[in-house]
Amino acid sequence: VRMMGVLWAAVMVAGTVAQAPPPPPLPPQYFKQPCDHFNAEMWNCTFNQLYFIDDHAWKGAENPEAMITFIPGGESAMGGMYNYEILRTLATARGGIVITMEHRFYGDSIPMGPDVGPKNLGLLSIEQAMADYANLISTTREKYKCPHCPVVAGGGSYSGKLAAYMRLKYPSVVDMALAASAPVFLDSPGFGIDYDYYAIVTNATRKLSPKCPEAVRAAIETLLASDSITITQELNLCEPLDTEYTYGKLELLQRIMNQFADTAMGNYPPVRSPITTECTNLLSAPHGSLRSLRLFLNDRYKFTVGVGLEQPPAASTSTIPTPCYNISSARAAGRNGRVVCSDWSGCGFGLNAEIWDYEACTEVIQPLGTNNVTDMFWKRPWTLEWQTEHCMSRFGAKPLRDGRWLAHSMGLDELRAKRPAGYSRVIWSNGDQDPWSAGGVHEDIGDSLIAIKMENGAHHVDLRPADPDDTEDVIAARKRENEILTGWLVDATAERQALKL
């Protein structure tokens, strides 16, 4: 759930936004980046990495409020500047610069591309991505003759995690971070929260539609007990459901889980929640029926191009009613690509899904199980053994350090124990209705690791533009974030000027 779009100039005033006319769309630019920042023998291998920069408000390096906002690219191709209003206005209101860069391997930013495979996937890692970003930030400081400019890194979800991790690993480059909906404790197993993600999905659903979770549970039980022919007919699938569980029912069940996860992440503002609409459709069919699942799936995808509902094959003998549900369109690209991937909240589809599946196979190990007790799904515990088998079949790769590489390299065990672990000046924001809040930082740690909670918030809603239906807790969160970052900018500017950078 990423809000991308054209940059809008605005001024943050007391938690509200006064909008100004938008500047023209930003032209794409490309940065010559090393393929491998950590291998001197690959010095002659480079690739062009997409980025966008907005300097329309730049008042020059001599401006005492000069600064840079950097938004790390996340797990998708980039079509323009992320529409993260608080981060953009923080810079433009001070005469600063806003930069964002596409994550390596997503979109066209592919080292040793354009193809993706064993020859180059080993160059995909969080460490390489952070080095890409640090290289661009440092080069931008030099270009604008502003070594004293403090940098705010910020983003939501994976992008938010990268912002926080950059503050840890590159403190001389990034002065502070806003990590919105950044589930760092779901980056490694071992934190005892394997079932919390889908429990929050279920609770958020029950809050807005009390009868929906039991109806979902009953419908899934019916699906598990039904044969493939019946499921194909009742759900109006475009192709017969495979009779083997792994390639048939599991694919379909995963798609249902993914849809509920997506709906929960977008569950804001409450008065316009997609949960209400989708549960209303599901509940309109007989309790526990396969038709209820058909109505649920069809509602989400009837307006989506390329995934879900589409016309059946053009063969004149086709008797499939239109439109049908095409589950194969939601599969990842690459060897043994399926709907089921290493991220049980969903990897997306196509090439992006293949790339994220690799990241979630090697470093970003997310234990997202279900138990049919605290959640409305079927019993399916996550195991490292399943993850390893899946990743070997897909990429011939295994989770690093038994899946706990990021816990080790990013100090997550210390952070979980409420020790700073080298982090400072990081805001961790979470919405209680967001399933990813299961892995978030929820309490202040010391004076400069600040946790902000939004009772009605969903996935990084504090980064979204102001909405007439915003709830008071989200409005207050944006205001507090702005105040904290403003204070830190004053401190960071003074520190950099004292160093005579």
User: DSSP secondary structure string, 302-319?
Assistant: TT-SSSEEEPPP--TT--
pTM check: above 0.85: yes
> Does residue 444 sit in helix, strand or coil?
coil
pLDDT in tens for each of the 501 residues of the chain?
333 332 222 222 223 333 434 545 899 999 999 999 999 999 999 999 999 999 999 999 999 999 999 999 999 999 999 889 999 999 999 999 999 999 999 999 999 999 999 999 999 999 999 999 999 999 999 999 999 999 999 999 999 999 999 999 999 999 999 999 999 999 999 999 999 999 999 999 999 999 999 999 999 999 999 999 999 999 999 999 999 999 999 999 999 999 999 999 999 999 999 999 999 999 999 999 999 999 998 865 543 334 454 444 444 344 445 678 988 888 999 999 999 999 999 999 999 999 999 999 999 999 999 999 999 999 999 999 999 999 999 999 999 999 999 999 999 999 999 999 999 999 999 999 999 999 999 999 999 999 999 999 999 999 999 999 999 999 999 999 999 999 999 999 999 999 876
Within 13 Å, how many C-alpha atoms sit on residue 230's CB side? 9
Spatial separation of the C-alpha atoms in residues 290 and 235, rounded to whole Å: 7
Task: Report CA dihedral (443, 449, 454, 460) to the nearest 10 degrees.
Answer: -130
Predicted confidence at residue 9, as pLDDT, reads 26
Q: Which pLDDT value is given to residue 501?
A: 65
Structure tokens at 212: 């929906």
Buried b or exposed e, range 345-374, using 16+ CB within 10 angstroms = bbbbbbbbbbbbbbbbbbbbbbbbbbeeee
pLDDT at 19: 42
pLDDT at 309: 46
For 431, other C-beta atoms within 10 Å of its C-beta total: 30
Write down the pLDDT at residue 322.
61
Among residues 25, 157, 147, the alpha carbon closest in space to that of 463 is found at: 157
Q: Mapping DSSP to helix (H, G, I), strand (E, B) and coil, where does residue 281 land?
A: helix
> What are the residue numbers of the active site?
157, 434, 459
- Residue-level pLDDT at 296: 92
pLDDT at position 219: 98
Q: What is the pLDDT of residue 298?
A: 81
* Helix and strand element counts for the chain (H, E): 14, 12
Cα–Cα nearest to 164, from 428, 402, 494: 428
